[in-house]
A and B are shown apart, each in its own frame.
Chain A
Amino acid sequence: MSATVVHYEDRIVAAFTAAAVAWTLVGMLAGVYVAAELVWPALGFEQPWLSFGRLRTVHTHSVIFGFGVSALIGTAFYSVQRTSHVPLFAPRLAWFVFYAWQATCVLGALSLFAGINASKEYAELEWPFDVAIAVAWISFGVVFFGTLARRKVGPIYVSNWFYGALIIVVAMLHVVNSLALPATLTKSYSLYAGAQDAIVQWWYGHNAVGFLLTGGFLGMLYYFLPKQAEQPIWSYRLSIVAFWAFVYTYIWAGPHHLHYNAIPEWVQSLGVVMSLILLAPSWATMINGVMTVSGAWRKLRVDPALKFVVLSLAFYGLATFEGPMMAIRSVNMLSHFTEWTVGHVHSGALGWNALITFGTFYYLVPRLAGRPLWSTRLANVHFWLALAGVMLYVIAMWGAGVSQGLLWLTLDDLGKVRYGFVDVMAAMAPYYALRLVAGGLFLAGASLMAVNLWRTMGGLETVPVAPPAGALAAETGA
């Protein structure tokens, strides 16, 4: 027997997990603050960096790129090693990905505070950051696919297809959408103008939702859900069909963000049709997930981690149903430009992305630390706070959005607009207050999680874990 035992690279997983938890708190705190500014505008204190526009951008940036991507890279590095039975390829490059990504996110957030902003929604960072993101992202791809290429297991496990689609498609979207000509170090002008820029931007924007916030997190689901439920994936064949249908269809859906706007009619119509078709692969995956849990329902009573993941599946189903409905032109006429859009995004971001990540971390961190979760009770309190928070948020924004849409479009008996814009704005006050409460509840729950996981980790020590014996034997040639 060889004396060299190879261990998985799990310290880097722990680092990404800690970063994701920190970004949860930063991003959600910024979110709660901007929600409060809509209730009390004086909270901007006439400071440029505290004003709604800048802070809202910091909020979305921190949540998507700080929290979401850190969680995705961390869990991808954890699962790709275990599904391949080899340690991470190029671990030093993996640490470079960690430091480069965190530095980009921190400096990026500071630049947004400073008003350095390219204004493309969910791609606001200016061109030097775009270059840094591309470098870090490609390194992530090299580590991930390098590990896959050296795997000791024949077939590539399902979760890796989804993480793979995340890496490849997001790289493509990022590069094409960010093309710009710099005028100074902090200011560039998009290569595309007007309606063409809008088409490119929503191709990016919608598919960032598709391949990062949906596809990437489905990778997380396909690895961690079967582990937590201790059941194999219900249907392997369904996961294949759903994956390719998802990869093919999602990319077409972007133009549904531009209904009744100045882009060609045929592009809008294609966007609607494909958005409706998208319901099939989305729900196929949800059904596959739910059926995988069936048989493990009893675990739901004792395992808070599984509770989070199952609830996130419900919100995944809800949001992927709501999306195609909002893509239908007659519904979109009412919902576009209203708070309904904000509600929809948050039912996805809080209900699906945040909950599945929380569930995954409650499962993952005790295994990294080699000791049980510090407090199961605290995790259960977190569960109920999160559920109350997201439900209240979605209901408040749905009420606000539908009222807004109806009031804006109402005509009187003479065919004139009935309500002034300012009147409709005034009607939003109670909904905005409810949203603030909802955000506060959700943030409170996430803070409890941070404490719980910190205590479980006991200061970031990780237990070394080696690949199964068979794999090792194959490698050492024994």
Chain B
Amino acid sequence: MSLLGLHKRIERSSGLLIFGILVVSSIGGLVQIIPSLYQESLATPAEGVAPYAPLELLGRDVYIRESCSSCHSQQVRPLLAEVQRYGPYSRADEFVYDRPFLWGSKRTGPDLHRIGGKYTDAWHRVHMVDPRAVVPNSIMPAYPWLAERPADPDGSIAARLRTLKRLGHPYTDDDIAAAADAVAGKTELDAVIAYLQSLGRTRARGSGL
């Protein structure tokens, strides 16, 4: 049967049309995604990469809530200018505990993947509450409410860790039991700062480039 003849049949049957679209549109996704999901090197942590501590995890979730990744990437590309500006380029084995990934697609502000340890906690505290106090021409919004809210208002940190454990993160039962105490009395600002200070420090401290 000629191709156009075959098509004459497809365009007369909504069932065949649905089937055709499903098959033809799946091929690319199957070829690109399935091998990646089974590629060990994308899911094996680099040396020194550990799952987030409870306070860091809460901070990461606040970072997600405020959609910080709209303006800040977490992905240093292997380009001379980027490595100079931000630090060692990012590798897949540094992100295996990131659910979801936060590489971002836009830099209205600078990349944050190597921000850990670059500034003091006190600097971050001032910067988050009043960005223009430390960077005069910054256009970042101020986040004063972070300093007023408890880090874990609904007491869900244990549930969060348990969910991640089910997804394969190596938290022990003791880690989960101790989590609530570890974040007691902390604010969301403490949590975000703990998260930022944890970012990308493995390789920055370790082997260099």
B33, B68, B138: which has the most chain A beta carbons within 10 Å?
A: B33
Contact with B along A244-270 (1 / 0, CB 8 A): 100111111011011011111001001
Question: Are A262 and B102 in contact, with the CB atoms below 8 A?
Answer: no
A261–B135 Cα gap in the complex (Å)?
29
A156 at interface, CB cutoff 8 A: yes
Question: Are A117 and B11 in contact, with the CB atoms below 8 A?
Answer: no
Q: Which residue of A lies closest to B137 (CB)?
A: A426
Question: Are B110 and A421 in contact, with the CB atoms below 8 A?
Answer: yes
Q: Select which of B25, B94, B138, B160 is within 8 A of A187 by beta carbon.
A: B160
Among A199-207, A319-327, A357-365, the stretch in contact with B: A199-207
Chain B residues within 8 Å of A169, by CB: 21, 25
Known A-B contacts A57-B67, A198-B103; A156 and B98 likewise in contact (beta carbons under 8 Å): no
Question: Are A247 and B25 in contact, with the CB atoms below 8 A?
Answer: yes
Question: Are A194 and B163 in contact, with the CB atoms below 8 A?
Answer: no
Interface residues on B, range: 35 or more
Chain B residues within 8 Å of A199, by CB: 32-33, 36
Question: Are A48 and B145 in contact, with the CB atoms below 8 A?
Answer: yes
A156–B15 Cα gap in the complex (Å)?
11
Chain B residues within 8 Å of A250, by CB: 25, 28
Known A-B contacts A53-B71, A182-B163, A183-B156; A203 and B139 likewise in contact (beta carbons under 8 Å): no
Known A-B contacts A194-B98, A197-B100, A199-B32; A57 and B70 likewise in contact (beta carbons under 8 Å): yes
Question: Are A44 and B142 in contact, with the CB atoms below 8 A?
Answer: yes
Question: Are A184 and B156 in contact, with the CB atoms below 8 A?
Answer: yes
For window 162-178 of chain B, which residues contact chain A by CB distance below 8 Å? 162-164, 166-167
A413 at interface, CB cutoff 8 A: no
A117 to chain B, nearest CB (A): 6
Chain B residues within 8 Å of A119, by CB: 64, 67, 69, 100, 102
Question: Are A189 and B167 in contact, with the CB atoms below 8 A?
Answer: yes
B195 at interface, CB cutoff 8 A: no
Question: Are A194 and B95 in contact, with the CB atoms below 8 A?
Answer: yes
A233–B13 Cα gap in the complex (Å)?
21
Question: Are B141 and A168 in contact, with the CB atoms below 8 A?
Answer: no
Q: Which residue of B lies closest to A408 (CB)?
A: B81
Among B83-91, B118-126, B179-187, the stretch in contact with A: B83-91
Residues of chain A touching chain B, judged by Cβ–Cβ distance below 8 Å, are: 37-38, 41, 44, 46, 48, 51-54, 56-57, 115-121, 124, 145, 148-149, 154-156, 161, 164-165, 168-169, 172, 176, 181-184, 187-201, 203, 211, 237, 240, 244, 247-252, 254-255, 257-258, 260-264, 267, 270-271, 274, 333, 336-338, 341-342, 408-411, 415-417, 421-422, 425-426
A-B pairs with beta carbons under 8 Å apart, 14 shown: A37-B139, A51-B143, A52-B141, A119-B64, A165-B21, A187-B160, A189-B163, A190-B99, A196-B36, A196-B42, A197-B101, A240-B11, A249-B28, A270-B31
Residues of chain B touching chain A, judged by Cβ–Cβ distance below 8 Å, are: 4, 7-8, 11-12, 14-15, 17-18, 20-22, 24-29, 31-33, 36-37, 39, 42-43, 61, 64-71, 73, 75, 77-82, 84-85, 90-92, 94-111, 131-132, 135, 137-145, 154, 156, 159-160, 162-164, 166-167
